[in-house]
Amino acid sequence: MGPRDAALEALCALEGPSERLEGGARDILDWPSMPDERDRALAVQLVQGVMRWRARLDWIIARNLRFPFGRIEPRVLNILRLAVFQITRMDRIPASAAVNEAVKQTRASAKPHIAGFVNGLLRGICRGGVPTAFPDRKRELLRHLAVVHSYPEWLVDRWLKEWGMPAAEDLMAAGNRLPDLTVRVNRMRIGRSALIRALADEGVAAERTAYSAEGLVLRGVKGGVERLKTFREGCFQVQGEGAQLFSQLLGPEPGERILDLCAGVGGKTTHLAERLEGRGLVVAVDLQQRRLRALQAAARRLGVAGCIHPVAADAVAGLANVFRTRFDRILVDAPCSGLGVISGHPDIKWRRRPEDIGRLARLQLEILQGAATLLKEGGVLFYGTCTLTREENEEVVAAFLATRPDLVQEDLRARAPKGAQALIDANGFLEILPHVHGLDGFFGALLRRRGGDRARIPGRLG
C-alpha cells in the first residue's frame, strides 16, 4: 500500500469508532503494511495534516463547487482533502502529482464520472482557485476563526467564552503547531548530559527541556527513534514534557507499592518504575491487552520489567474485588477529552463533541471513587488529565473531595521541582497551557488520605 492510499484508508477509518490514531487507523499506518520508513512518514504527515487543517481545506473545496458541499461522498471528500492539502501546504510535492494520485484513487473506488469531477476541481484549484478571502472577521467572527485556524465552531465558541480574545486565538494557533519530539532520560541507564553526548554521536542534536529535569528535545532525527542505538539500549523513552511531571509530582520512593490506573502503553508506568530504582512494585492497570503488551515491551527495553505487574481490568468496575491490598501511591491518568494535546493529535478536534465533556467528567469521578478505596491511610493520589476544561479538572476534584472527607488536596507548590514551579497555579494545581508554556496542555491535582503513618501496608495482589 502506497503512502497516499494508506493515508486515505486511515482518514476513512477515523470517521468510524477508532480513537485518535489507534485501532484501525493506526494499524493501517504501522509496519508491516508499509515497511518503508519514508512511506510511513509521508502517510502520517498526510493524515495529521488533513486533520490539522480540515476546516480550511473544506473551505477551499466548497468555494470551488457548483453544488452543495454536503453532496460529496465521504470517501471522495477525503480524497479531495488529501490532494488539496498537498497542493496548498506541501511544497515538495508537485501539484500535478497530487492531482494524478487523487484521480487514480477516485477511479479505484467511485463511478467513472466522479473521477472527472475530481480532476476538474483540483486542476481549477491549481490554476488559482485557492480563495484568499475567509469569512468576514467583523461580521462572522466565530466562522472566521473556525476556518482560519481550522477548528469546529462549537470549540471556537467555547474557548472564546472561557479565554476571551486574544488568548483563545493564541490557544488555537498553539494547537496547530507541530509538536517537538521530546524524550525522558532513563536515569537507571544514563545521565542527561551523557545521553546528549551519545545522541550527538548518532547525529541527533538534543537540548534540555525547560520544566522537566529528566527531559530532552531531539532535533534532526531521521526515521523513527527506534533506529537509534541509544533507544534500543533503553537510554530513553519518548514522552512529552508535561506528562513527565505526573510521575515526578506523585513522588514514588524506593520500596513503595504504586498503582497506575489507565496505564496505556506505559510511558508513565515505566517512569514510576524507574523512580523505584528496582525496589518496590508498580501495578499497571489497563482494559486493553494490546496496550499492556506494548507496556511490557517498553519495560523490558528500559530494564524495569521486574517491578511492573500488568493487570487487564476495568478501572471503573470493582477494583476492590481485583486487589487485596492498599497502595502507597496511586496515579490516575484519566481518560479525558484531550483538548490539551491537539497539536500531536489533531483528529481530536473533529472526533470530540460538546456532550463528551460531561460524559467524561462522570467517568473520571467514577474512576477516582474506585481508586480511593485502594489508597492506604497517609497515601497520596495524583489525578491528571490532558485537557483544559474545568468540568474535567477542577470541578471533578471538587466533586470527588465533597464525597470523601478523608481526602485533602495538597498544594503542589510545596513539592514541585524548582524548574516546574511556574506550572503550578494559585490553587496548587498543575496547569500547563499550550499558548502560555509552549507545551501540551495538562492538569494535575495531588490528594492525600488523612490518618496513618508513612509505613507501607503489607498485602498481596489478588
Catalytic residues: 386
CA neighbor of 292 nearest in space, from 321, 262, 317, 320: 262
Cα dihedral across residues 233, 239, 245, 246: positive or negative:
negative
Cα distance between residue 314 and residue 96, in whole Å: 50
Q: What is the DSSP string of 70-136?
A: GGS-HHHHHHHHHHHHHHHH-TTS-HHHHHHHHHHHHHHHS-HHHHHHHHHHHHHIIIIIS-S--S-
The amino acid sitting at 172 is: M
Residue whose C-alpha cell is 474535567? 392
CA neighbor of 400 nearest in space, from 363, 350, 356: 363
DSSP label at residue 265: T
Cα distance between residue 362 and residue 351, in whole Å: 19
Residue whose C-alpha cell is 504504586? 258
* Strand 215-219 versus strand 281-286 pairing type: unpaired
CB 263 within 8 A of CB 292: yes
- Angle between helix axes 394-403 and 354-372 (nearest 10 degrees) is 40
